[in-house]
Amino acid sequence: MGYGDAWLAGGVGHVAQALVTTGILKKGNVLMEWPDGKQRCCWANPANPRYVAYHDDEWGVPVHDDDRLFEMLVLECFQAGLSWECILNKREAFRRAFDGFDLDAVCAYGQQKVEALLQDASIVRNRLKVGAAITNARIFRSMQEEHGSFAAFLWGWTDGKVVRETGLATSPLSDAVSADLKRRGMKFVGSTVVYAYLQAVGVIDSHEEGCFLHGK
């Protein structure tokens, strides 16, 4: 998912309870008293090392590589309506199922591959999202041809600069990018999904005040 407030609002009572019972408490929106002495954004689940590593090493780090940008676009679109932690836990299964997120391979998927994906219990088996991944891949490739790279398109919205803001689920920037992608025919790219995507790939840095990565 990418952004803390929506994660907290999205029915994560079991994690919130875990924070209370383990003594890892919040002060405002930032978790305190992590075992390693670092403070992190409130959405980083201390019970899931994969999630913590994602927060520490990937979330908010500027991405200019089209392969990574495509991977994250696929994953964020599958996340729509679900938790990001769920998708992150299935990330390697998605990577295997989608041929390593190879853009040319996904662009070439036909009905036989679609049906195979829908039979794969290790990923999210949603026909609309599977279809969207393929449609979005083909549009992603056309945007590479138009702009030289998808990264050039994406970072062009901010003149290559990182936007630093917290506490939002959408913004005028995500509204505009979402509208552009929808106009081109992409699916599952509403403003909330796009905002999370922009956070995930570092166009927007939303590490919260008190987090050891805030402002870095």
| 77 backbone φψ class: left, alpha, beta (φ>0; ψ -120 to 50) | alpha
Residue 86's closest CA among 154, 191, 172, 7? 7
Fold type of domain 66-205: Endonuclease III; domain 1 (1.10.340)
pLDDT in tens, 151-197: 999 999 999 999 999 999 999 999 999 999 999 999 999 999 999 99
pLDDT exceeds 80 at position 201: yes
Q: Which two tokens stand for residue 10?
A: 């999205």
The set of catalytic residues is 54, 76, 84
DSSP count for the chain of H helices, then E strands? 12, 5
pLDDT in tens, 74-105: 999 999 999 999 999 999 999 999 999 999 99
Domain boundaries, the chain: 4-57, 66-205
Decide if 75 contacts 87 (C-beta within 8 A).
yes
